[in-house]
Structure 1
Amino acid sequence: MKATRQSKKSKSSKKEGGKQKGYSLKKFDETRIGFLMKHEAPIEYKLLMDVCEFLKYSKPPPELIEHIGYASQDTFFRKTKYWRCLKDYRKYGLRPPYAVVTNKNKELYYIHIRINKYIY
């Protein structure tokens, strides 16, 4: 007679429905695309927010962001960084793996970029 190994049946845990643990809803400014648009393309960001407010969207749809990018002459919308961020926004929406927050050094850096872009 062959000895067979019998494993204990584990208790199957019920999976709870609802949102994923640890991923809370963020503001659009705290997503990568929102943060970059706010700091590198403020005119298009303001336009996007005004359109969303007028159409009563709670969050900007990725298609609208893409259309504004195609219509803009800003070089930010031609960068691969923009397309990567838009891809992440399509995947995660307002539940990104991490929120992008600002500090003094980032603010100074983006102020410098805006001055060089719009004044010089």
Structure 2
Amino acid sequence: MPKAQKFYQRRITKAPKPVKKRRKEDGRPRETYKKYKFEETKLGFFLKYEVPVVYDIIMNLTPPEVFKEPALLLVKMVCKSSSDPSLKKAKFFRYLEEYANLGLYCKRARQLTAKREAYYKGIQRKKTEKFIRKNRKKIEGLRNERGKFLL
């Protein structure tokens, strides 16, 4: 062991602390995070259930791996090019910032519960109804064109 450095007869360097083996019951050490799949992170969960089209585009552009981790720049570009109002929420920007800092590591995984499933189905239903109302003329025009070919 090297000699301790001293300054005015006081020790500067600290003696190493004895290493205690960590027990499993103690849990995960503080300030460390577990690695999860992208769809279990806050951003991935948000995209998968609120904006599934954007999520599918991002995952198709990501190379196949065990833990698919889309690049932050890719996520930002795809989300910026989408006109979905969900991607303008403060919640989305919070999740994006957290993903920029931690990546796939997070405190707790987001999982689909029955309550969340009902919530997201409601959101998807409202978005579909709004899209149909907004584009009714286009949809009817396409139906009429398709009907001509069937006859």
TM range, smaller chain: 0.7 to 0.9
How many angstroms does 1:69 deviate by? Answer: 1.1
Higher RCO, 1 or 2 (CA under 8 Å, sep at least 6)?
1
Counterpart mapping for 1:1-120 below 5 A: 11-13=16-18, 21=29, 23-53=33-63, 56=64, 58-120=68-130
Distance 2:114 2:76 in 1: 30
Q: TM-score if structure 1 supplies the norm length? A: 0.78
Answer whether contact 2:36 2:105 (CA < 8 A) is retained: yes
* Larger Rg computed on CA atoms: 2
Structure 1 segments (4+ residues) deviating >2 Å: 9-14, 20-24
Number of residue-to-residue matches in the alignment: 106
Distance 1:25 1:13 in 2: 29
Distance 1:52 1:113 in 2: 26
Distance 1:13 1:28 in 2: 38
Distance 2:51 2:128 in 1: 10
Distance 1:72 1:65 in 2: 11
Give the SS at the match of 2:62: helix
**Residue 117 and residue 26 in structure 1: after superposition, are their counterparts in 2 closer, same or farther (change >3 A)?**
same
Distance 1:24 1:82 in 2: 22
Q: TM-score if structure 2 supplies the norm length? A: 0.63
Structure with more strand by fraction: 2
Unaligned segments of structure 1, at least 5 residues: 1-8, 15-19
2:46 counterpart letter in structure 1: L
What is the Cα-based RMSD across aligned positions, in Å?
Answer: 2.2
